[in-house]
Amino acid sequence: MSLIPAIVILLVTWWFRRMNFPLFARIIPGIITVIAAIFLFYIGFVNIRGFEGAAYGILAFFLVIFAVISFIMAKKQ
């Protein structure tokens, strides 16, 4: 489930890097992904408990991993 937003984030980061945008613009997809992961983890932990909440936590974990990859892609020139 996390592969679909991750592919979109990585493609947007790659496209921003290819267009030679400034560093801040290139890391925006990663920042938005981290914010979304924190929000999803919070929703899964506080509002939804049990197996459904764990699914939100797992999704948040993998989104953070892909956000780190996005940061690494953005910093390479």
Mean pLDDT of 17-45: 92
Residue 77 has pLDDT above 80, yes or no: no
Pick the closest to residue 27 from 60, 65, 77, 70 (CA basis): 70
C-alpha torsion 30→12→18→31, nearest 10: -10
Polymer length in residues for the chain: 77
Q: pLDDT digit string (tens) for 51-72?
A: 888 888 899 999 999 999 999 9
Given this model, what pLDDT does residue 44 score? Answer: 86
AA letter at 25: A
Domain that holds residue 23: 3-75
Number of structural domains, the chain?
1
Looking at every residue in the chain, the average pLDDT score rounds to: 90
C-alpha torsion 63→33→68→40, nearest 10: -40
CB 22 within 8 A of CB 6: no
Q: What is the pTM of this model?
A: 0.85
